[in-house]
Amino acid sequence: MITREEITMLLDHPVYDGEGHKIGDAKHVFFDDMTGRPEWVSVKTGMFGSNESFIPIHDATLVEDHLEVPYRKDQVKGAPNVDIDAGGHLSASEEHRLYEYYGVNWDNVLSDDGMSGDGGMGTDTTTTDTTAAAGTAGVAGTASVAGTAGYEGTGRRSLRDDDDAMTLSEERMHVGVERRETGRARLRKYVVTEEVQQIVPVRHEEVRVEREPITDANRDAAYAGPEFTEAEHEVTLHEETPVVETEAVAVERVRLTTEEHVDDRTVRGQVRKERIETEGIDLDEDVRRRPGRE
């Protein structure tokens, strides 16, 4: 059983089930108004701690830096939602409903608290100290809450008996990011055939008949043979034709890389804050009485 002295080591620390699964973090501890013993712990569960579940800690154990409870994680997360009154109390009906959900015998709980089975669990409206002993006015009070900071928030009771101040609490939204796959890209190489065209100059030979008159310069060559004879002369013609060859040439290297771009996205959520309201105080008059005010 958890003692009052262990509460400060419990708040804001992890809570695990009997199989070693983390359920959440302990946020508040509720005490019995008559005995002052811890009865319940509230645990933030769900995404970003959006839900608060109640767990009996009568059979819980504080192990090093965390609390172990004999209930499964899914059982705790499925616990019924309960309302806390303005005084930071669980009503008897709400507490009874929670005990029934967890399979805890209501009569055994009353017996362990030193009360008769027919005494009931009424709301204590007289005592203001969570360490009040049995015999304080009223029947056994329902559980009152201790805040995570060790002081009381609005309507909650403080763990310090000599402190009459209220501590205001508020929820802070913590937004994280997760990395997920959005798609895939790949490189695939394949071969295509395309027509190319190029102009290439080519040469060829043609026959041309040249005639020259007999002159003193060529007269001897002209009269060198017989006067009348038969003869023939052959000339070989040539031309150029295009010849096509291909060769594989590396032209570039291609690879896939990724680059990150940062976009701003607005994330909206709901957080709760505690506020103070006063009764029986003239705030305007109080402000006028402050030093430095007329």
> What does the alpha-carbon distance between residue 4 and residue 9 come to, in Å, rounded to a whole number?
10
- Whether the per-residue pLDDT at 224 is higher than 90: the answer is no
Cα 60 to Cα 75, 108, 119, 275, distances in angstroms: 15, 16, 25, 33
**Residues written for the chain:** 294
Under CATH, which number does the domain 4-172+266-288 receive? 2.30.30.240
Enter the tokens of residue 279.
């009764």
For 123-175, the pLDDT digits (tens) are 332 232 333 322 222 223 344 444 333 333 333 333 334 456 788 888 888 88
pLDDT, one tens digit per residue, over 52-109 is 889 998 888 888 888 899 999 999 988 888 877 656 677 888 888 898 998 887 666 6
Q: Which residues pair with 29 in a beta bridge?
A: 41, 146
Angstrom distances, CA of residue 271 to CA of 178, 243, 274: 22, 82, 10
Q: Please state, rounded to an integer, the average pLDDT across all residues of the chain.
A: 75
Percent share of the chain, pLDDT over 70: 72
- Among the ranges given (171-175, 213-217, 219-223, 266-270), the one the predictor scored with the smallest mean pLDDT: 219-223
Q: For residue 91, which of 134, 121, 125, 132 has the smallest C-alpha distance? A: 121
Mean pLDDT of 215-223: 86
Q: Is the pLDDT of residue 277 over 80?
A: yes
Structure tokens at 156: 């909650």
